[in-house]
Amino acid sequence: MGDVGFRALWQDWKDERERTLADPHGWLALVSLDWLTEEPTAYHGLPGLWWQDSEAAYVDAAAGGVSRDGEPVVGVERFELVNSGAGARVRVGDVEVEVARRGGYLVRVHDPAAEAVRGFRGVPSYEPDPAWVLRGVFEPFDEPRPTTVGAVVAGLSHVYTAPGVVRFAHGGAEHTLTAFNGKAGGFSILFTDATSGVTTYAANRSLAVADPDGDGGVVLDFNRAVNLPCAFTAYATCPLPPEGNRLPFAVAAGEKIPH
C-alpha cells in the first residue's frame, strides 16, 4: 500500500473516531459524577432517589420522569452490574443517566448541551507515518491472569483479564506489553511512553490490536493510539496501564493532548 492509500485509511479511521467522540450522549457530554451511598438521595435535580447496597444500585422513580429502553420506570429499578464493566443507562428528558460499577456504584449525567460537545473540533494527532506500524508476537499465558491496575481517581482500582503479552522490537531493543482482552475481540493495550505528559496525555493511551494470525503475529499501528475518556473529562474513572507498560522511547504517533 502506498503512502496515499495508507493516509486515506488512517483519515477514515480518524473521522469515525471523532464522530464517535462527538456523540451527543458520549464521553464529551458528561457533566457530573456522583458516588451512590446506602442512603436514598436526589442528585442534580434528577427525578427520583438513587442509592446502592452491596449487590446493586437502585432508583425509585415513583414520581415519574425516568425511562429505560423506551419504557417508563415505575417504582424501583435495580441495576446489578459487573465491576469495571459496561454501565446501564436511563433517560431523563434530553439527558441520559449512566449507572456504572467502579468498586461502588456511581451515576453520571450525559447532557447533549454540554459545552465540551458544542465546542468539539477534533483531536490533535501526529501525522500518520507507516514507520509506526510495527509487527510483534502475542505470547499467551498458560491461563488468563486477572490484573489489578490503578485509576485516574485516587483510591480506585480496576481488575481486567490479561490473556498474555505482546513482544515487539523497536530501536534495536525488544519490548513487552501486557495485553487485556478487547471489547470486540483482539486486545487492548494501555501504555505510556516518553511523550506522555509532554505532547500526549500523561496518564495513558490505548491501542487496539487485532487477533493474532496462525503464528501468533500481531500488528501494532501506533498511528491509531487513542486517548482514554479521562483525557477529555474530569468525570471518567479510567484505568492506568499495568506495571511494565511504559515504553522507554517516544511514540510520536497517534492522538496528542486534547484541546
Same domain? For 87 and 126 the reply is no
Quick check: is 70 in a domain? yes
Same domain assignment for residues 112 and 126? no
Question: Over the stretch 34-73, which tens digit does the pLDDT of each residue have?
Answer: 999 999 999 977 999 999 999 999 999 987 899 999 999 9
* Strand, coil or helix: 28: helix
Full residue range of the structural domain in which residue 86 is found: 27-118
| Structural domains of the chain, count | 2
Q: What is the pTM of this model?
A: 0.89
- φ and ψ of 120, to 5 deg: -70, 130
Q: Name the percent of the chain lying above pLDDT 90.
A: 87
Please list, in sequence order, all residues whose beta carbon lies within 8 angstroms of the beta carbon of residue 212, skipping any fewer than 6 positions away.
Answer: 137, 138, 218
Q: Both 128 and 160 in a single domain?
A: yes
Between CA 147 and CA 220 the distance in angstroms is 22
Residues 130 and 85 in one domain: no
The residue type found at 56 is A
The answer as to whether 149 is a domain residue is yes
Residues 218, 165, single domain; the answer is yes
Residues 129, 222 within the same domain: yes
Q: How far apart are CA 222 and CA 253, in angstroms?
A: 6
Domain shared by 112 and 171, yes or no: no
Evaluate whether residue 1 is within a structural domain: no
- The predicted-structure confidence for 204-242, as pLDDT tens digits, reads as follows 999 999 999 999 999 999 999 999 999 999 999 999 999
CA–CA distance, 30 with 234 (Å, rounded to integer): 9
Q: In what order do the strands lie in the sheet with 57-60?
A: 49-52, 57-60, 76-79
Residue 55: inside a domain, yes or no?
yes
| Residues 107 and 168 reside in one and the same domain | no
Residue 248 lies in a domain: no
Tell me if 236 is assigned to some domain.
no
Give per-residue pLDDT as tens, 152-197: 988 889 999 999 999 999 999 999 999 999 988 999 999 999 999 9
Is residue 5 in a domain?
no
d(CA 237, CA 171): 34
Strand positions, DSSP E, the chain: 30-35, 49-52, 57-60, 67-68, 71-72, 76-79, 88-92, 95-102, 104-110, 133-150, 157-170, 173-181, 187-191, 205-209, 217-221
Based on the fold, state whether residues 31 and 43 are members of the same structural domain.
yes
Whether residue 87 is found in the same domain as residue 145 = no
Residues 127 and 163 in one domain: yes
Tell me the average pLDDT across 97-111. Answer: 94
The answer to whether 225 and 206 are in contact (CB under 8 A) is yes
191 and 91 in a common domain: no
